[in-house]
Amino acid sequence: MSKVVVQSIGVSLDGFAAGPDQSLENPLGTTGPELMEWFFPTLTFRSMHGGEGGETGVDNSFAEKSMSDKGAWILGRNMFGPVRGPWPDDSWKGWWGDDPPYHVPAFVLTHYEREPLVMEGGTTFYFITDGIHSALEKAKAAAGDRDVRIGGGAATIRQFLQAGLIDEMHLVVRPILLGKGEPLFADLDLRTLGYAVTDSVQGERGLHVIVNKLG
């Protein structure tokens, strides 16, 4: 059965899912890459970027699962790029080059209209201006029996959690303190919203925590 999932989101011990001062040079924020240091050494990550080798342990197993069997993605505007306000033109096509890693329809939340962007490898970006419920409806229609992954960033995940629209989350708790950045759970009471931790597995560089919406 199709689910709405969040996967492979690195979180610091003090609750941040991205570092401060995100920019073209620092898409995860100045300290954000520390959150993903569990992911970078894996076979999955290196294969995605045309590299060789890579680790095949617990971290890789979760990374591999997070990229498989997805029928559609939903991304916040920041996840697509650093451009703010109205689109000046169509020159910005994402962080990933001509062949983004999604290979399925990806729905980008924005306040500004833009024509769909067809990329190599099966990825098409659709720009959704009428909110998260509309984006999810379109993503589910595109995904069919496969899962819809909410790719982030943190603000987008918070919106979907607050609305109770996420079925399952996979978080990777990193043993680091960022001090400041983008908090993942600000102003959320996950317990009252019906979420609970259902599993945890220690990986090589992070603790993999599974959170499900119950009932």
Residue 38 counted as domain residue = yes
Number of domains in the chain: 1
Q: Which residue has the higher pLDDT, 23 or 202?
A: 202
Residue 184 counted as domain residue = yes
- Measure the CA–CA gap between 82 and 45, rounded to whole angstroms: 22
Residue 128 · residue 109 · CB < 8 Å: yes
Give residue 50's pLDDT band: very low, low, confident or very high (50, 70, 90). confident
Give residue 48's pLDDT band: very low, low, confident or very high (50, 70, 90). confident
Q: Per-residue pLDDT for 1 more than 80?
A: no
Dump the DSSP string for 134-201: HHHHHHHHHHTTSEEEEEE-HHHHHHHHHTT---EEEEEE-S---SSSEESSTT--TTTTTEEEEEEE
Residue 89 counted as domain residue = no
What value does the mean pLDDT of the chain take? 95
The residues, ordered by sequence, that sit 6+ positions from 77 with a Cβ below 8 Å of its Cβ are: 108, 109, 110, 111
What range defines the domain where residue 33 resides?
A: 4-84+96-213
Residue 14 counted as domain residue = yes
Q: What pLDDT does residue 132 have? A: 98
Average pLDDT over residues 34-56: 93
Average pLDDT over residues 121-145: 97
Average pLDDT over residues 133-144: 98
Residue 25 counted as domain residue = yes
- Measure the CA–CA gap between 136 and 149, rounded to whole angstroms: 10
Q: Per-residue pLDDT for 100 more than 90?
A: yes
DSSP 121: G
Give me the CATH number covering residue 110: 3.40.430.10
Average pLDDT over residues 162-179: 98
Q: Per-residue pLDDT for 215 more than 80?
A: no
